[in-house]
Amino acid sequence: MRRKDLLDLYSLDRSEIEYLLDTAESFKEILRRPVKKVPTLRGRSVANLFFEPSTRTRTSFEHAAKIMSADTYSLAGSTSSLVKGETLKDTMLTLDAMGIDAYVIRHSFSGSAALAAKYVPNKPVINAGDGTHEHPTQGLLDLLTIREVKGKIDGLEVAIVGDIAHSRVARSNIWGLTKLGAKVRLIAPNTLMPAEASTLPVTIYNNLKEGLDGVDVVNILRIQLERQNEAFFPSIREYAKLFGVNAAKLSVAKPDVTVLHPGPMNRGVEIASALADDPNYSVITDQVTNGVAVRMATLFWLMGGTD
C-alpha cells in the first residue's frame, strides 16, 4: 500500500516496518562514505517544523534530507510567525503554496501531525513527535538498533522503564516491537503508567527487579525533570533509587542484555552514568547513527514513486 504520511507505527503493518528497516540498513553504507551525498532527492524541499525544542531529532532529519540532496528549511516555533499567532493551518497552507515538497513536524499537541497532514493533501508529513502520542522514527531507530545487536526482534523480551505516561517514544516502541513479534514489559510507578496501560499488548510491572528479570533489552526513558513539581514521584533521589537502572540491577536480566536510551539523558537519575558509557551494554550512540539512516529511509519511502 502506498502511504502519504508517517504519523505513527500503530497503523503500519509488519511488512512496511520491515521495508523501512531494510532500507535504512542499506543507507548506513552511505553514512560511512567519505562523501556523504546521494542525488536521490535533488531539487526537492523538506520543511522541518519544530514547535517544541529539539536538538537531535531536528539535526538528524536535516542531516538525512541533506545527504539525500534535498533542500531543507528549519522553522522553529520561537522565530516563526507562530509567535504572531498564526495557526498551524495557515502555516501549512503558506508553505504548501510556496511549493515545499515534504514536512517534518514536532508539536506538543497529540494529533497535531495528523491535523497538519490534512491541510496538505498531496504532500507527505512525517511526525517527529506529537505530544504524548507517537514518535515513529524514534520507534524505528530503536527497532533497527535492537535488530542489529540481537539479529532479530521476534521473541525478544523488551522492557521499557520510566515515564511511560508522558512518553510518545514508549507508544511507538510498544506498537513497533509487538508488530515484529517481541514481548513488551512496562516498568514504572503507577503514577507514571498511562491510564490505558491495561488495554495495551504489554505486561505491567511496578517493581524494577521483577520487570528486568530475564529481559533481552531495556529501553530507559528520560524522566522529565520539568514535571517534578507535578508530584508524580516524591523526589528525584527516590526515583533514582527505585527505578534508576545501573549494571548491578541488570544482574537479573539476560547476561547479554542491551540498554537503549532515546536521549537526552539525565545521568544518575534514570540511568547510571557508568552504564550509559559501558560498551558491554549501551548502544546509545548506535541509536543516534541509526536515527539518520531511518529518517533517510522514511524520506525515500514517502517522497519516492507511486508503485
Under the rule (CB under 8 A), what is the footprint of another protein? 19, 22-23, 25-27, 29-30, 33, 35, 37-40, 68, 300-301, 304-307
Is residue 105 a contact partner of residue 112, using CB atoms and an 8 Å limit?
Answer: yes
Is residue 57 a contact partner of residue 128, using CB atoms and an 8 Å limit?
Answer: yes
Distance of closest approach, residue 307 Cβ to another protein, in angstroms: 4
Distance of closest approach, residue 37 Cβ to another protein, in angstroms: 7
CB closer to another protein, 85 vs 305:
305
Name residue 42's amino acid. Answer: R
CB closer to another protein, 281 vs 300:
300
Euclidean distance between CA atoms 77 and 198, whole angstroms: 36
Distance of closest approach, residue 16 Cβ to another protein, in angstroms: 12
Q: What are the DSSP calls for 191-220, one per residue?
A: GGS-TTGGGSSEEEES-HHHHHTT-SEEEE
Distance of closest approach, residue 299 Cβ to another protein, in angstroms: 11
Distance of closest approach, residue 19 Cβ to another protein, in angstroms: 8
CB closer to another protein, 23 vs 246:
23
CB closer to another protein, 52 vs 101:
101
CB closer to another protein, 40 vs 54:
40
Distance of closest approach, residue 40 Cβ to another protein, in angstroms: 4
Euclidean distance between CA atoms 69 and 67, whole angstroms: 5
CB closer to another protein, 50 vs 301:
301
For 107, the grid coordinates are 508539536
159 burial type by CB count under 10 A (0-12 exposed, 13-18 middle, 19+ buried): buried
Burial 90-129 (b: 16+ CB within 10 A, else e): ebbeebbeeebbbbbbbbeeeebbbbbbebbeebbbbbbb
CB closer to another protein, 272 vs 293:
293
For 306, the grid coordinates are 507511486
Distance of closest approach, residue 136 Cβ to another protein, in angstroms: 19
For 168, the grid coordinates are 510518545
